[in-house]
Amino acid sequence: MVNPIPLRRAVFLDRDGVVNRALERDGKPYPPTSLAEFEILPGVPEACAKLKQAGFLLVVATNQPDVGRGTLAQSVVEEIHAHLRRALPIDRVEVCYHPGGGQSDCDCRKPKPGMLLRAARDLGLDLARSWMVGDRWRDIDCGRAADCRTIFIDYGYAEELKQAPDFRCGSLLEAAEIILSSAARQ
């Protein structure tokens, strides 16, 4: 009998506010609208390198509803993601382009777990041993719905969480330390 290939662990990363600087207006975060506005946050390259070295796959999972609403070209988002893949050791980028706001009913728009479930199926991931790191309630609810552990990067946005995360911190580098410490105990 052949032993089954063990499922791999992943860290799912929200994009805006976790990997790159979100543009904040009136206490709410917004995505960059061009590559010129896209800025990887300090500590993110180091955090990604540490997680990769520990054997985690890195998957960006991002809602980009401005494309579905017609206010941002999909080509701009794809240009940003191509740059992101060149700059960081990202294994996969999952994107929901649906407009949300009651205009679409898809299974991929966070807080629904469709992007995480698709990546898990395609990459052979063990969601119970994986993590979702985000800076908004949708990220935490998505991670919970996919049976991942969750880390909330708290920027003090004018927005309440709907579910409690497993951990809170102030940056992806801090989140990576939490994940690595937890993995070392298992």
Render each residue's pLDDT in the chain as its tens digit; 186 residues: 555 667 899 999 999 999 999 998 888 888 999 999 999 999 999 999 999 999 999 999 999 999 999 999 999 999 999 999 999 999 999 999 999 877 878 999 999 999 999 999 999 999 999 999 999 999 999 999 999 999 999 999 888 999 999 999 999 999 999 999 998 887
23 vs 173: CA distance, rounded Å: 20
- What are 119's two structure tokens? 């990546």
Q: What is the pLDDT of residue 5?
A: 66
The pLDDT value given to residue 7: 86
- pLDDT score of 29: 85
Q: Does the model's pTM come out above 0.85? A: yes
Yes or no: domain 10-185 corresponds to CATH 3.40.50.1000: yes
Residues classed as catalytic: 14, 16
Count CA atoms within 13 Å of residue 60 on its CB side.
26
Which long-range contacts (C-beta less than 8 Å, at least 24 apart) are formed by 121-124? 122/92, 123/8, 123/10, 123/57, 123/59, 123/91, 123/92, 124/5, 124/7, 124/8
Q: Residue 100: its pLDDT value, please?
A: 81
Give the pLDDT of residue 3: 56
Give the C-alpha separation, 38 to 33, whole Å: 8
